[in-house]
Amino acid sequence: MESRCRIVVGLPTRGRATILRETLSDLERQTRKADAIIVCGADASDVEGVAESFPAVSLLTSKPGLTTQRNAIIDAAADADADILVFFDDDFIPDPTYLANVERHMMADPHLVVTTGRVLADGIGGPGLSPSEGRAIVAAAHEDIDEVKPAFSGYGCNMALRVAPMREHDIHLDDRLPLYGWQEDVDLSRRLAAFGDIVRLEGARGVHLGVKSGRGSGVKLGYSQVANPLYLAGKHAGYPLGRALEHIARNMAKNLARAGWPEPYVDRRGRLRGNLLALRDLLTGRMAPERVLEL
C-alpha cells in the first residue's frame, strides 16, 4: 500500500556518534521507510561518520541542549512538509514495523496528535544495554499486540507528533529547559493535547538502550529534577502541580536512599546535591530551569 502521509524521523544527538550510527542502521530495517531522517548535533564530532555511511540523512547543527536541538528538527521537518514527525533518541532501537504502526493509526484517526510506543526494555534505569542486547529483545517480542491505550504524554525516546497543529499554533519545545530538557516531552505533549488525543500504540515497540556516555553531571540533572517540574506546573499549560510534586518526591527519595550506596552508573550524590540546590533557590526566589548552566 502506498504511503498516505509524509513521515520524518528526527534524532537529536550529543557525544555518541558510534551509537547514533547503530541506530541509523536499525532505521534502515523499517518496513515503512521514513521519507526523511534529520539528525541534529552540536558539533561535527556528534555526527562523525554519518555523512559517509548514511548520505541520505540530513545533518543539522545547533547550540547544545535537547530542546534546542529538537526545535531545530521541528523547524526542518516543517520545511520538509512532514505530516508526522517521529522523535527517537539516538539510542532507541525500534521494531521494524514501528513507523508502519504509527502511520496506520495516525492516518486512521486524524484526532491523534501524539503517539508513543511500548518500551520493551529501558536501560536508563540500569547500567544501559548494548545495541546487540536491544536488537535481541526486539527480535524476541513475537506477540502481535495492536491495542491503543490513552496516555498522559509521549515518552521522548520514541514519540510521534502530528505536525499540522504544531505548525498552525507555533508549538515548539520550551527552550527554557536547557541541557537534558527533563520533562520537556510531557510539557510538549500536554500543550498538544489541547488539539487532540495522546495514545500509546502497543504495536509500536522498541528498546531504549539508556547509554550512559554523552550524559552530563549529576548535580545539573538533580537541579533539573526539581526546577523543571515546578516551572512547567507554573506555566498552567496542562502540567499538573500534583504530578510535579510527585515526580520531585520520587526522584529525591531515590537519590537520598541511594546516596550512601550509589549505583556505579548513577551519580546519586551529585543528583541529591542538585536537588538541594534547587530547593534552596526555590526558598530564595532564584529557582529557574536555566540555573543549571551556572552550576
CATH number at residue 106: 3.90.550.10
Residues 201 and 243 in one domain: no
Q: Which residue, 208, 242, 259, sits at the end of a domain? A: 208
Instruction: Average the pLDDT over 94-121 and give the result.
Output: 97
Let me know whether 201 and 284 are in one domain: no
Sign of dihedral through CA atoms 97, 102, 103, 109?
positive
Range of the domain at 252: 218-294
Domain final residue pick, 171, 189, 208 = 208
Percent of the chain whose predicted confidence (pLDDT) is above 90: 87
The predicted pLDDT at position 252 comes to: 97
Evaluate if residue 48 carries a pLDDT over 70: yes
The answer to whether residue 259 sits within a structural domain is yes
In a domain, 1, yes or no: no
Separation CA 130–CA 275 (nearest Å):
30
Query: For residue 19, how many other CB atoms are within 10 A of its CB?
Result: 20
**Residue bearing the bigger pLDDT, 194 or 143:** 194
Backbone torsions φ then ψ of 135, nearest 5 degrees: -65, -35
Instruction: Give the whole-angstrom CA distance, residue 189 versus residue 194.
Output: 9
Q: For residue 145, what pLDDT band results from cuts at 50, 70 and 90?
A: confident
Handedness of CA 132, 134, 137, 140 (dihedral sign): negative
Among 154, 180, 208, residue at a domain's last position: 208
What integer is the mean pLDDT of 89-113? 96
pLDDT of residue 176: 94
Same domain, 290 and 185: no
Say yes or no: 244 and 222 in one domain: yes
How many structural domains are present in the chain? 2
Residues 173 and 237 in one domain: no
- Give the model's pLDDT for residue 265: 87
Is 136 domain-assigned? yes
Q: What is the mean pLDDT of residues 230-251?
A: 95
Task: Assess whether 229 and 182 both reside in one domain.
Answer: no
pLDDT given for residue 164 in this prediction: 96
Asked whether residue 181 falls in the same domain as residue 234, the answer is: no
Q: Are residues 241 and 290 in the same domain?
A: yes
pLDDT score of 213: 64
Tell me what the pLDDT averaged over the chain comes to: 94
**pLDDT for residue 1 is more than 50:** no
Residue 2: inside a domain, yes or no? no
Residues 109 and 182 grouped into a single domain: yes
Question: Pick the residue with more confidence: 215 or 71?
Answer: 71
- Judge if 90 and 108 occupy the same domain: yes
In a domain, 213, yes or no: no
- Kindly write down the DSSP assignment for every residue of 86-112, as one continuous string: EEE-TTEEE-TTHHHHHHHHHHH-TTE
Q: Does residue 118 surpass a pLDDT of 80?
A: yes
Is the pTM of the predicted complex or chain greater than 0.85?
yes
Q: Is the pLDDT of residue 59 over 70?
A: yes
Q: Is 240 in the same domain as 194?
A: no
Residue 269 lies in a domain: yes
For the segment 181-230, what is each residue's pLDDT rounded down to a tens digit?
Answer: 899 999 999 999 999 999 999 999 999 998 876 566 789 999 999 999 99
